[in-house]
């Protein structure tokens, strides 16, 4: 929740800076350099003010239209967030499956090694689980696998 509030505050500040900087540049071009006329200044000021408002309220704006071209923001963002969450869940389920498979025997001939042949692949898998910060979701499965490997 705090990241959304922080992002919202950043949008407000950035939107205000863009709007005010655009208007200030327009004033500079109008007064100091005399490159803009009054109508051009008004158009550029309104343009930068609208862009600043769009940036400021980007989280709340669902759709806006410029010269007949509409841009849908909120629906795409919601869909992207939902897709990312589904991918995270799928990654967790794939890791769960791999943890269960890592404790099965390969079915080959036994070796004279004192170290179980399943330990090294399990450790590599565990490093990947740690890398993706999925240890808490898979804690029960990891404990079961460790118990099997330690007994074996």
Cβ atoms of residues 102 and 121 within 8 Å: yes
How many C-beta atoms lie closer than 10 Å to residue 94's C-beta?
11
> Higher-confidence residue: 16 or 58?
16
What does 64-122 look like in DSSP terms, one character per residue? EEETTEEEE-HHHHHHHHHHHHHHHHHHHHHHHHHHHHHTS---S---S-SS-TTHHHH
pLDDT digits (tens, 9 = 90+) for 120-149: 889 999 999 999 998 999 999 999 999 988
Residue range 42-52: average pLDDT?
Answer: 90
pLDDT digits (tens, 9 = 90+) for 105-115: 766 666 666 66
User: Model pTM?
Assistant: 0.51
User: Is residue 83 over pLDDT 90?
Assistant: yes
């Amino acid at each position: 929740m705090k990241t959304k509030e922080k992002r919202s505050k950043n949008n407000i500040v950035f939107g205000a800076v863009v709007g005010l900087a655009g208007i200030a540049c327009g004033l500079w071009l109008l007064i100091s350099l005399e490159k803009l006329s009054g109508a051009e200044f008004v158009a550029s000021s309104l343009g930068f003010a609208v862009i600043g408002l769009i940036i400021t309220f980007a989280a709340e704006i669902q759709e806006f239209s410029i010269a007949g071209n509409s841009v849908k923001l909120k629906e795409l963002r919601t869909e992207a967030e939902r897709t990312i969450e589904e991918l995270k869940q799928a990654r967790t389920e794939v890791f769960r499956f791999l943890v269960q498979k890592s404790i099965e025997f390969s079915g080959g001939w036994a070796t004279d090694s004192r170290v179980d042949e399943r330990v090294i692949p399990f450790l590599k898998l565990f490093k990947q689980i740690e890398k993706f910060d999925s240890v808490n979701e898979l804690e029960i499965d990891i404990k079961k696998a460790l118990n099997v490997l330690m007994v074996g």
